[in-house]
């Protein structure tokens, strides 16, 4: 820490970029009053050659012990100015950047007063920081270019292979007797739906055979000490009662072993205690007869959908638990079929048939007119929850196309009669 602080503050206009919203004069005046500030100046472009000369000369002239550059983000010019400081004999780490552009003038472009105030606050903070700065000197130390990868799942395997392929030694530490991790337990992978084993097993063999990789299965990391570039890691190998030198991996010991461990099965989630009791009361009579019957998912969801006109999330959870089907699969079914909706739908469901016969006779125009008449687009529900508008592939009434249904009633709809059709429906509704 410096005994007597002489901090220099250089405020940059950045053309119009900072000066456009931050009032530089006010800033300079305010900064002058900060304790420890020995010198303040401003300049149009501090990063330009004359700007840099100004900084370098001032450091020498005013014997500055610390520098705050109030300009753009340190990402851009921190190095420029630190190199400059080093050239004139100031330890570069005693120079800091106060970002008054990206964090101040730009975001508060239309609030110049607030921007000016914020700029002053930022500079104050950085001045306080510079006063705490100590001179730093880079050191050189030898490092061992060798990596430890902890965990032999798909991420660990890929990581180890990448490092090893780049030419470095890698030690892979895996807790269980085999690498492979959770991925082998999956049935399909997104988005190609390849089987995980197909992706994984070549990588597992690659890893086992790689010259740069040492595999430690059935092992755990005991302790880690040291620092970046110089770690010491202790690997604890669990007893395996097998002479690894002689083992051929035939697997006979496994089949002949009198003790077998079942793989741990994750407990099933219990949703029912969090589910709305009213929903349970309503759907229990539908769901209960199919308890444990995974084949009933579609049928049960159809019945629930007909109660609410959509599938509430709680209902899906209840079905998952009762029918003993993973929630992900219930969601898959619920999002696959067009009959289901995952969002609430209106009191009246308007379906416009988009079948071939109806299309040929002008169904798209009917849809346009209905969208205009009720003010929502296909797939939407009106704000007052009166209508939901949907298109369907075929209503099975092809001889009369274009066909529209409102709730369960069929209408033959000409584009120019859509208005009348709704007038009549709304009258009947009353």
What Rg, from alpha-carbon coordinates, does the chain have?
A: 36
* 372 is an interface residue for another protein by CB under 8 A: yes
Q: Using CA atoms, how far apart are residues 99 and 126, in angstroms rounded to an integer?
A: 9
Binding-site member from 46, 104, 149, 395 for another protein (CB under 8 A): 395
Identity of the residue, 60 or 332, whose beta carbon is nearer to another protein in the bound complex: 332
Residue 165 has φ and ψ, to the nearest 5°, of -65, -25
Nearer to another protein, 62 or 410 (CB): 410
From the list 88-96, 205-213, 234-242, 298-306, the region that binds another protein by CB under 8 A is 298-306
**Based on CB atoms, which residue is closest to another protein, 46 or 296?**
296
- 378 is a contact residue toward another protein (CB under 8 A): no
Instruction: Verify binding: residue 369, another protein, rule CB under 8 A.
Output: yes
What minimum distance in Å lies between the beta carbon of 282 and another protein?
20
Count how many residues are written for the chain: 430
| DSSP 8-state code for residue 383 | T
Among 132, 232, 295, 328, binds another protein (CB under 8 A): 295
Q: Using the rule CB under 8 A, is 355 a contact of another protein? A: yes
Cα–Cα distance measured from residue 219 to residue 240, given in angstroms and rounded to the nearest whole number: 10
Asked if 308 touches another protein (CB under 8 A), the answer is no
Q: Check if the beta carbon of residue 400 is closer than 8 Å to that of residue 412.
A: yes
Residue 170 touches another protein, criterion: CB under 8 A: no
Per-residue CA distances from 331 to 42, 226, 258, 341 (Å): 62, 49, 42, 11
DSSP 336-362: HSTT--SS---SEEEEEE--HHHHHTT
Q: Which of 350, 343, 365, 356 is nearest to 399 (CA)?
A: 356
Of the candidate residues 338, 383, 384, 427, the single one contacting another protein (CB under 8 A) = 338
Minimum distance of another protein from residue 429's CB (angstroms): 18
Q: Are 425 and 418 in contact (CB under 8 A)?
A: no
Task: Name the phi and psi angles at 400, rounded to 5.
Answer: -105, 5
Q: Does residue 294 bind another protein (CB under 8 A)?
A: yes
Report in angstroms how near the CB of residue 414 gets to another protein at its nearest: 8
Spell out, one character per residue from 183 to 202, where the chain touches another protein: x when CB under 8 A holds, - when not.
----------x---------
| Residue 387 to residue 402: CA distance in whole angstroms | 20
Residues near another protein, by CB under 8 A: 193, 293-299, 301-302, 325, 329, 332-333, 336-340, 354-362, 365, 368-369, 372, 392-401, 403, 408, 410-412, 414-416
């Amino acid at each position: 820490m410096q005994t007597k602080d002489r901090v220099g503050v250089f405020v940059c206009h950045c053309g119009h970029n900072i000066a456009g919203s931050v009032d530089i004069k006010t800033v300079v005046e305010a900064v002058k009053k900060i304790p420890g500030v020995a010198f303040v100046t401003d300049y149009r472009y501090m990063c330009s050659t004359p700007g840099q000369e100004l900084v370098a000369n001032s450091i020498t002239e005013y014997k500055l012990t610390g520098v705050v550059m109030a300009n753009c983000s340190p990402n851009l010019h921190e190095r420029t100015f630190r190199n400059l400081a080093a050239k004139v004999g100031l330890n570069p780490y005693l120079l800091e950047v106060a970002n008054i552009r990206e964090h101040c003038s730009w975001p508060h472009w239309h609030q110049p007063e607030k921007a000016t105030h914020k700029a002053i606050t930022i500079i104050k903070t950085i001045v306080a920081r510079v006063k705490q700065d100590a001179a730093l000197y880079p050191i050189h130390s030898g490092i061992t270019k060798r990596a430890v990868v902890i965990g032999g799942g798909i991420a660990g395997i890929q990581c180890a292979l990448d490092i090893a392929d780049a030419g470095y030694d890698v030690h892979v530490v895996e807790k269980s007797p085999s690498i492979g991790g959770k991925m082998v337990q999956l049935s399909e992978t997104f988005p190609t739906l390849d089987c995980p084993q197909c992706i994984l097993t070549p990588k597992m063999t690659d890893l086992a055979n790689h010259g740069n990789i040492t595999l430690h299965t059935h092992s755990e990391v005991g302790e880690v000490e040291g620092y970046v570039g110089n770690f010491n890691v202790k690997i604890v190998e669990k007893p395996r009662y097998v002479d690894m030198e002689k083992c051929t991996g035939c697997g006979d010991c496994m089949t002949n072993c009198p003790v077998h461990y079942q793989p741990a099965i994750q407990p099933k989630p219990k949703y029912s205690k969090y589910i709305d009791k009213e929903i349970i009361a309503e759907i229990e009579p539908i769901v209960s007869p199919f308890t444990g019957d995974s084949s009933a998912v579609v049928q049960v969801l159809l019945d629930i959908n007909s109660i609410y006109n959509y599938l509430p999330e709680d209902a899906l959870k209840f079905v998952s638990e009762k029918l003993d089907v993973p929630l992900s699969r219930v969601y898959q079914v619920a999002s696959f079929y067009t009959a289901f909706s995952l969002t609430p739908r209106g009191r009246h469901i308007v379906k416009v048939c988009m079948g071939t016969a109806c299309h040929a006779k002008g169904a798209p125009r009917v849809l346009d007119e209905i969208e205009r008449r009720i003010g929502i687009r296909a797939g939407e529900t009106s704000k007052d929850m009166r209508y939901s508008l949907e298109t369907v592939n075929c209503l099975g009434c092809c001889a009369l196309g274009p066909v529209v249904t409102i709730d369960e009633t069929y209408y033959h709809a000409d584009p120019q009669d859509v208005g009348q059709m709704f007038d009549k429906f709304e009258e009947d509704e009353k």
